[in-house]
Amino acid sequence: MLQYLKRSAAYILSKRALFVLLTVMVVIPGVALLVTDGLHKKHVQEFLNYARFVLWWVSLGVASSIGLGSGLHTFVLYLGPHIALFTIKAVQCGRVDLKTAPYDTILLKQAPSWLDKKCSEFGSPMYPSSDHSVMIPVFDLLPQVQLEAVLWGIGTALGELPPYFISRAARLSGSELEAVKELDVAPSSEDGPIASTVNRTKRWLLSHSQHLNFFTILILASVPNPLFDLAGIMCGQFGIPFWEFFFATLIGKAIIKTHIQVYDLYILLKNPGVNLCFSWYHMFIFLS
């Protein structure tokens, strides 16, 4: 990282005149828009609201997947509860147009405006009720929570980049990561059944790393896979191009897997009496 920072600083210094020109053209008008009053004020505030909304959900996604499996599980802590609260509120009120704007979600130190409102404030129900419940199709509910879910998924894809870059840097320097060396160690009899299973899975992934390409990375990123950090390490170790790895991870995590998680949460909320085995299956999907 220090090398990248030095290169960036050297490039900026070599393009000093261009850097000053861009600063004058971008920073000064931006500051002027923020400090002056006028008709543009509401548009600037709207832009800041969207920027904070995007930064919040992308940051939560990064926090969820960064750190070689030691990240904070922000789906269970933030995104899942947000989707659940919106779904419950929509079912109670019989309508999905509860938000005042796309950024009207759970944010840092701020609750959404629709959370504490009474259903009468939104108007009469738009969906017919039966047996004292309202059935809202998932394709009507999904667009209301889709943007924050996709942003969170983009963050999880960005959080998978450090293992790839660390492994690629180790490969270029001619060394080998400790995570790769550990896979060559024979299993110990002291390992429990779970640890032994995880180690066997890691060794299988290592032995099949030569088959890693766009589609295999896409599959690994699209399904519940707590060992995806290892896939990133293998991609960096075996020289998979960055854009191939990143786009496959982005599509798998931000689009396919995120929508699977949202749909599974919708099914759980729609059918709270699902059997225990099915609940454990969904819990595995959420935690992966």
| Strand intervals (E) in 107-257 | 129-130, 133-134
- Give 49-52 contacts, CB < 8 A, sequence gap 24+: 49/101, 49/103, 50/102, 50/103, 52/103, 52/107
Are residues 99 and 112 in contact, defined by beta-carbon separation less than 8 angstroms?
Answer: yes
Residue whose tokens read 């919106």: 86
Please provide the distance, in angstroms rounded to a whole number, between the alpha carbons at the two ends of the chain.
29
What pLDDT does 266 receive?
79
Tell me the domain boundaries of the chain: 1-29
Q: How far apart are alpha carbons 113 and 129 in whole angstroms?
A: 25
Q: What residue type is 7 in one-letter code?
A: R
Q: How far apart are alpha carbons 120 and 118 in whole angstroms?
A: 5
Query: What are the backbone angles phi and psi of residue 110, rounded to the nearest 5°?
Result: -150, 130
Residue whose tokens read 């299956």: 281
Q: How far apart are alpha carbons 206 and 201 in whole angstroms?
A: 9
Q: What residue type is 284 in one-letter code?
A: F
Q: What residue type is 165 in one-letter code?
A: F
What pLDDT does 279 receive?
47
Q: CA of 245: how far to CAs of 21, 121, 209, 215, in Å?
A: 35, 47, 13, 10
Provide the residue-wise pLDDT of the chain in tens; the chain has 288 residues.
777 788 888 887 887 787 778 877 777 777 777 777 777 778 888 888 999 999 999 999 998 888 766 667 888 888 888 988 898 888 888 888 889 888 989 888 888 989 888 888 888 888 777 666 677 888 888 889 999 999 999 998 998 888 888 888 877 776 655 555 555 555 555 556 655 655 565 565 555 555 677 888 888 888 776 677 777 888 887 788 888 889 999 999 889 888 888 887 877 776 655 544 444 444 455 555
Q: How far apart are alpha carbons 73 and 60 in whole angstroms?
A: 9
pTM, 2 dp: 0.76
Q: How far apart are alpha carbons 84 and 54 in whole angstroms?
A: 20
Residue 71: CA count within 13 A, CB half-sphere:
30
Residue 57: name the closest of 159, 138, 139, 142 by CA: 159
